[in-house]
Amino acid sequence: MYEGLDTVILYEELAYEDVLPVAWRPLPEPFDPAIVGSFADRNLRVLQAVAALDEHGQIEKPDENAPHAADIMRLEMKMNLLLDMVGALLIASRPRPKPAAVRFNALGGVFQGSSPFPPLGNQGVLEVYLRDCVADPLRLFGRIASVSPDGKVKVRFVPPGENISDLLEKLAFRKHRRQVAGVRQPKK
């Protein structure tokens, strides 16, 4: 049964897709191993932070008769408000690139570039800001695989390591699961 939802695929694997602040930063050849290691540690922390922010309590309606249920809901709402405010402060103090359509997984990414487009084979890092309240972007090293006439830039990533690959896969899966759940929700 078709539910009006396409699975987001890139390089034959599930991918994360959104409109986010994204930038391509060219890097000199070859990649500096110290920079690659530093970015790997930061990527791990960024993905862990995003996973923690994405975690929600029970999806089902909470038991309103449980002791402290109302207190916990109020605390969660206040924490979400605080995170939104911190995100707004971060954006104001550290300008981010212009949001663009982006799709990525551990193998590669596609983003809507702007002129001048990076040359084919260019080596660099794709920076993706996943959440407003997370200061650092996700930084994925790669090489430009193609640039379409309409400006879609396709990047093939250097393998980011097993831990980061697993977290990227989980990020894409959570996004896909939320999209499917949103489609299945009855209209009110």
Report long-range pairs for 48-57 (Cβ below 8 Å, ≥24 apart).
48/167, 49/131, 49/134, 50/130, 50/131, 50/134, 50/171, 51/167, 51/170, 51/171, 51/174, 53/83, 53/131, 53/133, 53/134, 54/171, 54/174
All structural domains of the chain with their residue ranges: 12-55+69-178
pLDDT at res. 92: 76
The pLDDT tens digits of the residues spanning 68-108 come to 777 888 887 787 777 777 777 777 777 899 999 999 999 99
What CA–CA distance (Å, rounded) separates 154 from 146?
A: 5
Give the DSSP H or E segment for 94: none
pLDDT of 187 strictly over 80: no
Which fold is adopted by the domain 12-55+69-178?
Thrombin, subunit H (2.40.10)
pLDDT at res. 58: 43
C-alpha neighbours within 13 Å on the C-beta side of residue 54 = 18
Q: Kindly report the number of other CB atoms within 10 A of residue 170's CB atom.
A: 15
pLDDT of 2 strictly over 50: no
DSSP class of residue 120? T
Length of the chain: 188
SS3 162: helix
The pLDDT tens digits of the residues spanning 114-135 come to 889 999 999 999 999 999 888 8
